[in-house]
């Protein structure tokens, strides 16, 4: 049975840390699912790590749907969630409804994630959840606003921290079932986590969140550069380069294929 929103909320109540990772294709999704990851996110970071765009902004809804459908085919147990790309939901609540609807209908996702805690976005989250579409909020550093925020840590001043705190509460009240906290001070993330009844999933937000997410390309050592808060648990760039060099050498030396 696939994990549900209710189970994720129960995990928080039980103090069981939630493990989340991103995926962009069938093979990666199958591996993460079989390894027991709780949430698989088809994040718009795939724009940068998989498609080579300089930011997440160029990614289209059709592009992320293409990847999300492949991920869906690889996931049996994990909770599957998909990011709404830049300008697929900000224009109007109707646009958000249409985009989120496509993500659920065409890719079989269980939820969408969207960025921002401005009252306009809170209203959109309220309308989506009223229509039965589970939404995860995403506040703090929101990469779709890179031209306003850069990639700097957010919520450092008391005033900025209070704004993010208020956004978290407003999004929960609007019906969000979970909250992604990106690159904010640990103490602020801890306060938000304590205040909310829904689970917080942190990235660059310290150890007091209800769960953690990493971009899988960073975890595997596939990314060219890592954000300061990420950790690599493998170096696949090195493994792949070595394998390709070994293969090239054997082909050129006539060692592959062997007689046998």
Q: Should residue 82 be labelled a site residue for ligand KIV when binding is judged by CB under 6 A?
A: no
Q: Should residue 203 be labelled a site residue for ligand KIV when binding is judged by CB under 6 A?
A: yes
Q: Should residue 22 be labelled a site residue for ligand KIV when binding is judged by CB under 6 A?
A: yes
Q: Quote the tokens at residue 213.
A: 């997410």
91, 106, 172, 182: which is the annotated catalytic residue? 182
Q: Quote the tokens at residue 74.
A: 């690889």
Q: Quote the tokens at residue 115.
A: 């960025």
Q: Annotated binding residue at 99?
A: no
The answer to whether 137 and 114 are in contact (CB under 8 A) is: yes
Q: Should residue 45 be labelled a site residue for ligand KIV when binding is judged by CB under 6 A?
A: yes
Among 18, 96, 135, 213, which residue interacts with ligand KIV (rule: CB under 6 A)? 213
Q: Should residue 139 be labelled a site residue for ligand KIV when binding is judged by CB under 6 A?
A: no
Q: Quote the tokens at residue 64.
A: 């992320």
CB of 12 to ligand KIV, least distance (A): 18
Report the distance separating Cα 185 and Cα 211, nearest Å. 16
Among 182, 210, 219, 222, which residue interacts with ligand KIV (rule: CB under 6 A)? 182
Q: Should residue 83 be labelled a site residue for ligand KIV when binding is judged by CB under 6 A?
A: yes
CB of 190 to ligand KIV, least distance (A): 19
Please state whether the peptide bond connecting residue 159 to the residue before it is cis, i.e. omega within 30 degrees of 0: no
Q: Which stretch binds ligand KIV (CB under 6 A): 43-51, 95-103, 144-152, 230-238?
A: 43-51
Nearer to ligand KIV, 43 or 155 (CB): 43
Q: Annotated binding residue at 63?
A: no
Report the distance separating Cα 199 and Cα 10, nearest Å. 9
162 labelled catalytic: no
Residue nearest to ligand KIV (CB): 43
Q: Should residue 215 be labelled a site residue for ligand KIV when binding is judged by CB under 6 A?
A: yes
Nearer to ligand KIV, 158 or 183 (CB): 183
Closest to 117 measured CA to CA, from 68, 182, 166, 153: 166
Report the Cα 241 to chain-centroid distance in Å: 27
Report the distance separating Cα 176 and Cα 193, nearest Å. 14
Report the distance separating Cα 147 and Cα 151, nearest Å. 9
CB of 23 to ligand KIV, least distance (A): 10
Residue listed under structure tokens 């938000």? 192
Q: Annotated binding residue at 105?
A: no
The answer to whether 20 and 41 are in contact (CB under 8 A) is: yes
H/E element holding 81?
Answer: strand 79-83
**Residues contacting ligand KIV: total by CB under 6 A:** 10
CB of 47 to ligand KIV, least distance (A): 8
Q: Should residue 43 be labelled a site residue for ligand KIV when binding is judged by CB under 6 A?
A: yes
Q: Quote the tokens at residue 254.
A: 């006539």
Binding site for ligand KIV (CB under 6 A): 22, 41, 43-45, 83, 182, 203, 213, 215
């Amino acid at each position: 049975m696939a994990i549900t929103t209710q189970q994720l909320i129960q995990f928080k109540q039980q103090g069981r840390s939630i493990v989340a990772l991103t995926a962009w294709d069938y093979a990666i999704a199958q591996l993460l699912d079989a390894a027991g990851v709780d949430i698989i996110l088809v994040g718009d970071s795939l724009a940068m790590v998989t498609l080579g765009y300089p930011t997440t902004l160029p990614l289209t809804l059709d592009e992320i749907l293409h990847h999300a459908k492949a991920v869906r085919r690889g996931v049996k147990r994990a909770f599957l969630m998909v990011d709404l790309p830049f300008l697929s939901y900000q224009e109007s609540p109707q646009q958000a409804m249409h985009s989120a609807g496509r993500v659920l209908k065409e890719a079989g996702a269980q939820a969408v994630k969207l960025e921002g805690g401005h009252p306009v976005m809170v209203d959109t989250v309220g309308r989506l959840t009223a229509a039965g579409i589970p939404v995860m909020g995403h506040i703090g550093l929101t990469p779709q606003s890179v031209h306003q925020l850069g990639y700097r840590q957010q919520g450092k001043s008391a005033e900025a921290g209070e704004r993010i705190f208020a956004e978290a509460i407003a999004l929960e009240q609007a019906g969000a079932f979970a909250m992604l906290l990106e690159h904010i001070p640990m103490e602020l993330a801890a306060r938000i986590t304590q205040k909310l009844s829904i689970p917080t999933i942190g990235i660059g937000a310290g150890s007091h969140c209800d769960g953690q997410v990493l971009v899988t390309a960073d975890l595997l050592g596939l990314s060219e550069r890592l954000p300061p808060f990420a950790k690599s648990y493998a170096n696949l760039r090195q493994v792949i380069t070595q394998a390709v060099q070994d293969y090239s050498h054997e082909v050129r030396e006539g060692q592959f294929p062997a007689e046998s």
